[in-house]
Chains A and B, each alone.
Chain A
Amino acid sequence: MSEQLIVPTMAEMMAEGKTPDILFWVGSAGSYDDRAKKITKAFVKILNKAEVNFAVLGTEESSTGDVAKRAGNEFLFQMQAFMNIELLNAYEVKRIVTCDPHSFNCLKNEYPGLGGNYDVVHHTQFIKELINTGKIKISSNTFNNKRITFHDPCYLGRANSEYEAPRDVLNTLNATLIEMKRSKSTALCCGAGGAQMFKEPEKGDKDVNELRTEDALKTNPNIIATGCPYCMTMMSDGVKVKEKENEIQVLDVAELIAQAQGL
């Protein structure tokens, strides 16, 4: 179908005596979740097109432990963290990029205390860097006259105060970017954080993702953009609950950029 993705692993690189500039941390969702895998592939297409010298851990990668930590299982988190740090340090990893804000936050903020010190960036920050350095150019008019609203992932936004990178990237698309009433530091969670993704919600009036989708629908968007595989699930489900899936697409920033490049 599409052209073959080039995805070298750290092990292969090492065997060939090569060192990648950056490690792409795919994350559990990006590896196994059908919808999130599309985000992973879109991002790899961007990396390939920009000829980024990267590698993945492949089958050596394991959960960051983030979700265990948020659920309260500090033991399991630290077991995972020490295991991953041992591997990352053995490969002498310096820089990491990930499409998952939860992995991003965990690797960036919680691994250093356990001996894992890396320069960690979120993929929207990395794409912004690629645009700024001219490695990728957005010239098509794919999204002309499209209305896009960006849903801030909590672990990128409030947790790490990164509100601008995804917006800067989206602004290169020639689309109309409309903010929801609750955005940036006051953005409403999609409902998946804190391990909620893996359990049924407590009793209430409605689900959080439904409320957040209502926020998004008020901007009358063609596209709801986000930068997190869990937000993707929650917002896509929310759009389905509102029976708007035929009119409104939910897309990751990486997917939008890949599409704009015709990838």
Chain B
Amino acid sequence: MNYLPNIIFAIALILGIGYFAKNVQKLIRNIKLGQPKDVSDNKSQRWKNMAMIALGQSKMVKRPIAGFLHVVVYVGFVIINIEVLEIIIDGLFGTHRIGLSILPESVYGFLIGSFEILAALVFITVVVFWVRRNIIKLRRFMSAEMKGWPKNDGNFILYFEMVLMALFLIMNATDTTFQNIASGNIVSQFIAPLFSGASEGTLHIIERSAWWLHILGILVFLNYLYFSKHLHILLAFPNTYYGKLTPKGQFDNNDAVTKEVKLMMDPDADPFAAPAETEEEEIPAKFGASDVQDLSWLNLLNAYTCTECGRCTSECPANLTGKKLSPRKIMMDTRDRLEEVGKNIDANKGVFVDDGKQLLNDYITKEELWACTSCNACVEACPISIDPLNIIMEMRRYLVMEESAAPMELNNMMTNVENNGAPWPYNQMDRLNWKDE
């Protein structure tokens, strides 16, 4: 019976990590539903970007207050997780504070002391985050797309973190042996007096409960990630690695279109000729994107990475002037639709069965797509290299090239470009008239 806690711990650990791994597989499968996109170039620059932007939080601090607060939680989260290592060893082998028997007391005290300070800082910061969302009600957290689940999700994460940090500190405060060492209890020594009336036995029960709830909480939180915007804590790294390296103004030239245009412009091309044996490449089903499978896998990774901070939307000229377009909503819609498609595949034994829905119209409306000025403010604002503009452009391509569904004025403009090489109906022969006017 002595090994019961160890066995329960091991089972909890395996279940927690196993379920998470299963969801990670699903995540990867869903991302791979996207079209191929080659990002194998320029590895050194990519590593550098990841180090600067994700690890170094360089774009987070562009907004100093939110940036500073985020760095506190980020550093706290990463460093406090070292403590989880000790918890796992203790849990599996039935030891208690294995660190104390391995490390010199002063070193152990220093480590735990640092964790305690960080835990307290994270707790305070998370409370400030909560206040920003729920009391101050910052504009970017109040947009139309932030009602319901996204709002709750944001708060759940904060509650999770508050509880986990509190449990860590309570666990230390009620650990009488640890308190008696009087090294490393920098914060918990002030919490310990709260429990001064309790008996040794009660303290032990509280300490054990806090310990168990802390580690189980971490496992639950780990599994919450897949369903939450909080996934960014993992995906920010690959996302910044694969982020765009070319100038922001450079949009992809669609290769499939290039082939067709070349054929069209080649005077020697025989339009009725049978396709050459050698290039038996299949013609893409469609130009542009009307659903998530038409987007690139990178667009889909972007969607899962988005943490809905709304910096993009708060810089978007269309959104700032009351239009429906919100770059954040573009990312959220893409993820929601991708999840729907993924569930469809799960329910139909690995094959997607047409559900009569698509990203276009059912999630993202034409009105949103046509409001974009392609100014790249959203791309610039994103702290983790997400590119909402690319999705908007791919969907415009679908609207124009597959459905001829551009607004009337744009159709007129394009007819002019086609007929007289300018967006206005002026004669090309008058192009140099300005010289003599």
State the A residues within 8 Å of B (CB). Answer: 5, 7, 9, 26, 28, 30-33, 37, 40-41, 44, 56, 58-59, 61-63, 65, 67-76, 78-80, 82-83, 105, 108-110, 113-114, 154-155, 158-161, 185-186, 188-189, 191-208, 210-212
Contact = CB atoms under 8 A, between A and B. Distances in A.
14 contacts: A31-B430, A33-B424, A71-B410, A73-B400, A108-B247, A154-B249, A154-B374, A158-B375, A159-B250, A161-B248, A204-B323, A208-B373, A210-B321, A211-B321
Given A28-B421, A58-B431, A82-B265, 9 more contacts: A63-B422, A69-B251, A70-B374, A72-B401, A72-B406, A158-B376, A161-B248, A193-B373, A208-B317
Contact of A154 (B320, B375, B409, B418): B375
B195 interface: no
Contacts of A75: 257, 260-261, 401
Interface in B341-389: 367, 370-377, 379-381
Contacts of A204: 318, 321-323, 371
B435 interface: yes
Contacts of B288: 72, 74
Contact of A188 (B258, B377, B409, B433): B377
Contact of B409 (A155, A158, A199): A199
B61 interface: no
B387 to A, nearest CB: 13
A212 to B, nearest CB: 8
B253 interface: yes
Contacts of A61: 421, 431
A170 B89 CA distance: 65
The 8 closest A-B pairs by CB, nearest first: A159-B249, A205-B322, A72-B396, A194-B374, A62-B421, A204-B322, A189-B375, A109-B250
B249 A155 contact: yes
Tell me which of A73, A193, A207 has the highest count of chain B C-beta atoms within 10 A of its own C-beta. Answer: A73
B372 A194 contact: yes
Contacts of A193: 373-375
Nearest to A83: B265
Given A78-B258, A82-B265, A193-B375, A9 B432 contact: yes
Contacts of A79: 261, 264-265, 418
A74 B397 contact: yes
Given A32-B422, A158-B380, A71 B322 contact: no
B417 A67 contact: yes
B199 interface: no
B323 A203 contact: yes
Given A72-B406, A154-B375, A58 B432 contact: yes
Nearest to B256: A74
Tell me which of A61, A63, A200, A202 has the highest count of chain B C-beta atoms within 10 A of its own C-beta. Answer: A202
Q: By DSSP majority rule, is chain B's interface helix, strand, loop, or mixed?
A: helix
Contact of A114 (B258, B321, B423): B258
A203 B321 CA distance: 9
Contacts of A206: 321-322
B227 interface: no
B192 to A, nearest CB: 48
Interface string B240-256: 00000011111101100
B32 interface: no
A194 B407 contact: no
A160 B247 contact: yes
A71 B400 contact: yes
Contact of B249 (A78, A160, A191, A199): A160
Nearest to A197: B423
Nearest to A206: B321
Contacts of A73: 397, 400-401, 406, 414
A207 B426 contact: no
B184 to A, nearest CB: 44
A189 B260 CA distance: 34
Contact of B321 (A71, A199, A208): A208
A82 B249 contact: no
Nearest to A5: B435
A63 B417 contact: yes
Nearest to A70: B374
Tell me which of B318, B406, B437 has the highest count of chain A C-beta atoms within 10 A of its own C-beta. Answer: B318
B315 interface: yes
Contacts of B381: 186
B131 interface: no
Tell me which of B377, B428, B434 has the highest count of chain A C-beta atoms within 10 A of its own C-beta. Answer: B434
A82 B261 contact: yes
B373 A59 contact: no
B428 A59 contact: yes
B377 A189 contact: yes
Contacts of A41: 434
B399 interface: yes
Nearest to B367: A202
Given A71-B400, A189-B375, A109 B367 contact: no
B373 A114 contact: no
A29 B330 CA distance: 32
Given A58-B431, A200-B409, A71 B414 contact: yes
A44 to B, nearest CB: 8
Given A59-B429, A68-B414, A191-B373, A205 B321 contact: yes
B123 interface: no
B121 interface: no
